[in-house]
Chain A
Amino acid sequence: DTAVSQTPKYLVTQMGNDKSIKCEQNLGHDTMYWYKQDSKKFLKIMFSYNNKELIINETVPNRFSPKSPDKAHLNLHINSLELGDSAVYFCASGGTYNEQFFGPGTRLTVL
């Protein structure tokens, strides 16, 4: 059983397109996160949701919009993709002792 799953694993798209990444966790956690890992491997938080409510919204272009239909899902929609959006996007969910469990990542390439 996959604890945190993301789809798609790879996403190659043209500049200007709109795309979505889906994330689901079956761990029963209340908190979910989206992170971006750039080419220099720096992992930076983008958003955090607790029980469907937005908690953290870092300085991210408003082209990025998270949506949490229920506490087991946190999707990321990106409008008007730009070259600089190319990165690996990780979803994570938060455990009781603050540990985080990460999904396998979505490798986004914008051409």
Chain B
Amino acid sequence: RKEVEQDPGPFNVPEGATVAFNCTYSNSASQSFFWYRQDCRKEPKLLMSVYSSGNEDGRFTAQLNRASQYISLLIRDSKLSDSATYLCVVNALHTGNQFYFGTGTSLTVIP
């Protein structure tokens, strides 16, 4: 079983729509959680960390559910510039501070 699983999509949504991505992780000892964004032919960039109480950054809201071992990302009022691949990342200290990346969810925002 993969450490981190994501629905690859693609998600095609109109501008202004709200879209949500989920990600599940297999190891309950995982300690840090992140969402990264990767544009085509570019490097991944940190979008936001995910905290236990949930956190928001503008139009983006991240949630963590430790009991069910999933992480979510909600994007409100989608913009064309949100089109990218969104990577769920989990960090596990028990494996030497290793980071596990999901395969990513592709989002295209349509005018």
User: Is there contact, CB below 8 Å, between A103 and B43?
Assistant: yes
Q: Which residues of B contact A44 (CB under 8 A)?
A: 101
User: Is there contact, CB below 8 Å, between A56 and B32?
Assistant: no
B96: interface (CB < 8 Å): yes
Given known pairs A41-B85, A55-B96, the reply for A90 and B43 (CB within 8 Å) is: yes
Interface of A is mostly: strand
Q: How far is B95's CA from A43's CA once the two chains are assembled, in angstroms?
A: 17
User: Is there contact, CB below 8 Å, between A102 and B98?
Assistant: no
A64: interface (CB < 8 Å): no
A75: interface (CB < 8 Å): no
Residues of A in contact with B, size category: 20 to 34
Q: How far is B104's CA from A105's CA once the two chains are assembled, in angstroms?
A: 17
Question: Which of B14-22, B44-52, B69-77 makes up part of the contact surface?
Answer: B44-52
Residues of B in contact with A, size category: 20 to 34
Residue of B32, B87, B97 touching A31 (CB-CB under 8 A): B97
User: Is there contact, CB below 8 Å, between A40 and B103?
Assistant: yes
Residue of A40, A94, A102 touching B43 (CB-CB under 8 A): A102
Q: Which residues of A contact B103 (CB under 8 A)?
A: 40-42
A62: interface (CB < 8 Å): no
Given known pairs A41-B85, A41-B104, A43-B87, the reply for A100 and B43 (CB within 8 Å) is: no
Contact with B along A23-42 (1 / 0, CB 8 A): 00000000101010000111
Residues of A within 8 A of B (CB): 31, 33, 35, 40-45, 48, 55-56, 90, 94, 97-105
Give the 4 A-B CB pairs with smallest separation, nearest first: A102-B43, A43-B101, A98-B32, A99-B46
